[in-house]
């Protein structure tokens, strides 16, 4: 249950007094998610999601809130943080920072088909382009520096072969970051966690309509290729093995490239960046599995899934970029 901080109707009414979003009609805790406390909030004017931030600091939060605002105002389907009467998009409730954002239509699709991957690819490329003139910069906080710090912390929980692979991959990524090839990769604000559970679809399974991208709280400035690799490693695979399914990879990557054609530098770096994307989630899952936060009540995701994907990508399981 992802309600770490319970909110009462009285709390919600007091919060709504700072907004011009109408009167409270209903408040319902959202059971999924692992990072924040989320509630569906219905008012006389519409439907919203109230998020209380449990991990991110007040200094870090404006980047995410301003990025979602910028993207929503550029026509990208993402939650639009609402402003208080005095113009703030971050408020406070029960001692925690919070925001009220628009509710997007649809639900997540955990068994995607090519039509879903196509819409994710095209919308991801539109999102990258829309982020080009976003003025704030905050790095992906779970990027290279975090991998370097975290590898010695999680490696002791692995068998010797897996620990050696982890250390080698961090070394490979450290060396790659120093290359001109890496520096040539286009970059900007990136979602960095665009898994199947962070995209909503309305419509039908046969004719899906993308409702939006949610959960921007791992976003940061990174290469756009890293964002695409995170997506490909989750959307375009056979779950049991982690191997690419060509029809899904073709749909995601082809649709992305039709909106933003990929560069030669990106094609040359694809394999290394797919490995980086697998390493990132292997490490965060290892940390959450072996070193859970004190209040963490949810079953952690299986780290071996991304260990398997990393091994496959290192062994050359790829789908070439168009």
Ligand X SMILES: N[C@@H](CCOP(=O)(O)O)C(=O)O
Ligand Y SMILES: Nc1ncnc2c1ncn2[C@@H]1O[C@H](COP(=O)(O)OP(=O)(O)O)[C@@H](O)[C@H]1O
DSSP secondary structure letter of residue 163: H
Site string for ligand X, 266-285 (x = CB under 6 A): ---------------x--xx
Q: What minimum distance in Å lies between the beta carbon of 142 and ligand Y? A: 14
Tell me the closest approach of the beta carbon of residue 56 to ligand Y, in angstroms: 10
Binding test (CB under 6 A) with ligand X, winner from 193, 227, 266, 307: 193
Region near ligand X per CB under 6 A, out of 56-64, 190-198, 260-268, 290-298:
190-198
103 binds, among ligand Y, ligand X, none (CB under 5 to 8 A by kind): ligand Y
Does the protein bind ligand Y through residue 97 (CB under 6 A)? no
Residues 6+ away with beta carbon under 8 Å from 26: 40, 41, 42
Cβ burial, residue 148 (10 Å; 0-12/13-18/19+): middle
CA–CA separation, 308 vs 317, rounded Å?
11
Written as one string, the DSSP assignment of 62-111 is: HHHHHHHHHHHHTT--S--BPPPTTS-S-EEETTEEEEEEEPPSSB--SS
**CB-wise, 36 or 223, nearer to ligand Y?**
36
Q: In terms of CB distance, is 15 or 212 closer to ligand X?
A: 212
Q: Which is nearer to ligand X, 16 or 67 (CB)?
A: 67
Cβ atoms within 10 Å, residue 307:
21
Least distance in Å: CB of 2 to ligand X?
8
Q: Is 107 left (phi over 0), alpha (psi -120 to 50) or beta?
A: beta
- Minimum CB–partner distance for residue 133 and ligand X (Å): 27
* DSSP three-state, residue 139: strand
CB 40 within 8 A of CB 49: yes
| Termini Cα distance of the chain | 41
Site for ligand X contains 68 (CB under 6 A): no
Q: Which residues bind ligand X (CB under 6 A)?
A: 33-35, 193, 195, 197-198, 215, 281, 284-285, 301
Q: Which residues bind ligand Y (CB under 6 A)?
A: 2, 30, 32-36, 38, 49, 79, 101, 103-104, 197-198, 200, 214-215, 217
């Amino acid at each position: 249950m992802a309600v770490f901080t319970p909110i009462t109707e009285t709390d919600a009414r007091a919060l709504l007094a700072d907004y011009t979003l109408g009167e409270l009609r209903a408040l319902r805790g959202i059971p999924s998610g692992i990072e924040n406390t989320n509630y569906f909030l219905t008012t006389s004017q519409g439907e919203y999601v109230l998020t209380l931030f449990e991990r991110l600091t007040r200094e870090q939060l404006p980047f995410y809130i301003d990025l979602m605002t910028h993207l929503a105002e550029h026509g990208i389907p993402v939650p639009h943080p609402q402003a208080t009467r005095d113009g703030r998009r971050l408020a406070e409730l029960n001692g925690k920072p919070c925001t009220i954002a628009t509710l997007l239509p649809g639900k997540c699709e955990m068994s995607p088909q090519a039509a879903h991957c196509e819409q994710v690819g095209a919308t991801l490329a539109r999102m990258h382009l829309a982020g080009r003139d976003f003025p704030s910069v905050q790095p992906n906080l779970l990027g290279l520096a975090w991998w370097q710090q975290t590898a010695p912390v999680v490696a002791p929980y692995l068998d010797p072969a897996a620990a050696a692979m982890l250390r080698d991959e961090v070394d490979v990524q450290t060396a790659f970051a120093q290359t001109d090839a890496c520096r040539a990769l286009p970059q900007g604000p990136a979602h960095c966690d665009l898994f199947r559970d962070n995209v909503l679809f309305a419509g039908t399974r046969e004719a899906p309509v993308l409702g939006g991208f949610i959960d921007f709280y791992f976003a940061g400035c990174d290469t756009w290729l890293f964002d695409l690799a995170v997506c490909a490693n989750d959307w375009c695979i056979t779950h049991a093995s982690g191997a690419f399914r060509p029809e899904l990879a073709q749909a995601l990557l082809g649709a992305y490239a039709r909106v933003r054609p990929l560069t030669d530098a990106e094609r040359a770096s694809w394999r290394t960046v797919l490995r980086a994307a697998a390493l990132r989630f292997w490490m965060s899952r290892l940390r959450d599995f072996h070193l859970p936060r004190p209040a963490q009540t949810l079953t952690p995701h299986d780290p071996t899934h991304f260990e398997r994907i990393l091994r496959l990508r290192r062994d050359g399981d790829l789908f070439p970029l168009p």
